[in-house]
Amino acid sequence: MPLPPRLLVADQVAGGITVLDLPSGRTVAVVEGRHLSEHAGFLALPGGRSAFVDELAGELVVLDPYGPEAGRPLTETTVPVATPAEHLAVDASGRRLAVTTGLGRNEEPWSDLLTVVELRPGRRPHAARVRTRTGEPGVTLVGEGDSHEDTDPLVVLRHREPGTLAAYPWAALLGAAPSCPPAAPAHELPLPDDDGHGDAYDPESGRLFAAAGSGVHRARREGTRLAAEEPLDWAGPGRGYYLRLDPVRRTLWSCVRGGPADPGRWPEWTNDAWFHHLGSGLTGRVPLGPGLVFRLAVAASHIAYARVHPGGDELVLLDPSAPRPRVTARLPLPPMDGAPRPGGTPWDGVQRRAIAASPGAAYTAVTRGGHGEIHLFEGERALTVLKMPTPLDDGGHLALVAPGDGAQADRVGR
């Protein structure tokens, strides 16, 4: 009998990770006292495993959601890393990972630490920390040919102010001396923008992508250097603040936001799903509606966005296989107590929604922050509401995994 999809539910405020069978919602395993870094998110690894960073413990944690019922532990391994974690990425082998640091609960950038980790099955993992540049860097691990898992990757940091892609050979980082020495990049590629936000990597072409105000900047590896390519535009006004690879259809997705710059006027923000098909080059946008739309989820047959608005929240589903992607459903979501309100920012001291799907399953899960609820959909059908023992303040965080779903092709934490 095939194994069912599983949902990883993190309450980063209360602390804890719960693994649920889908669609039953049966609890398979629980890890208490773990505070996931919501910004770095969950990272898919080969074999249906997932990695995340525990902010309080300062550890990278690798989970095996199918382990407990097969006689393996849920927590496969832990490795000390620097926090607060900003972004998390992995290479083709699934053994080499990098964690950048960001602001955490601070007003200004203050940390310049980068941690690299090499997982060694049957042996103790090896990790090293170096100093790079203070900021909020994104990270991708870029292969050479990328079909060769044993080829050392380049660790590429995407910096702001000034915008730069900085490339570091893997061996130089992993072989760094103790005590967090400074590390100089082997190559730097300037970016025209100082507002980068969003990273993706396409293993088939070997290209990395960095979202910024002027568009999606592209680069490819040439030895230990990076070569810039013509950027992709946002196909209209506004800009995307998030970038994700759909590994099934080899499509990049983002949400382009437009409207007033004042965060208090967020209900007036416009939102379009932006897509770029990496094979055909087709690029375009699909209107989603006003309000707050941010992260998205990739399912087997659709792309899902959660939209928050004073007039009513909804789950928006797009068909990505049509000649041009289009909205196929707008499914209402119940309101949240403590939801963002007009005149205040939509992210400070308010409840949010997390969203998750798997490219190998038909399910989409959306949280109702502060209520301890997860609303589960199968395609366009509302299936059930899963009740959690903690409130999922700030929306919690989710990952949906299915055996053999290929999610590890998206090598940036979500």
pLDDT exceeding 90 applies to what percent of the chain? 95
Is position 168 within any domain?
yes
Is position 414 within any domain?
no
Is position 300 within any domain?
yes
Per-residue pLDDT tens for 146-187?
555 668 999 999 999 999 999 999 999 999 999 999 999 999
Strand partners, 27: 20
Task: Give the three-state DSSP class for 70.
Answer: helix
Using an 8 Å Cβ cutoff, are 11 and 20 in contact? no
The pTM assigned to this predicted structure is: 0.96
Is position 229 within any domain?
yes
Is position 58 within any domain?
yes
Q: What's the total number of domains in the chain?
A: 1
Mean pLDDT of 117-132: 95
Domain that holds residue 206: 6-409
Pair of tokens at residue 252 = 């990049």
pLDDT grade for 321, boundaries at 50, 70 and 90: confident
Is position 193 within any domain?
yes
Give the separation between CA 200 and CA 251, rounded to whole angstroms.
Answer: 11
**CA of 256: how far to CAs of 276, 299, 393, in Å?**
13, 20, 26
pLDDT at residue 121 greater than cutoff 90: no
Sheet of strand 49-54, all strands in order from the earlier edge strand to the far edge: 43-45, 49-54, 59-63, 75-80
Strand partners, 306: 315
Per-residue pLDDT tens for 352-362?
999 999 999 99
Is position 1 within any domain?
no
What pLDDT does residue 221 have?
Answer: 96
pLDDT at residue 26 greater than cutoff 90: yes
Is position 25 within any domain?
yes
- Angle formed at CA 81 by CA 117 and CA 115, multiple of 5 degrees: 50
CATH at residue 90: 2.130.10.10
The neighbour count for residue 95, using CB atoms within 10 Å, is: 17
Q: Which amino acid is at 90?
A: V
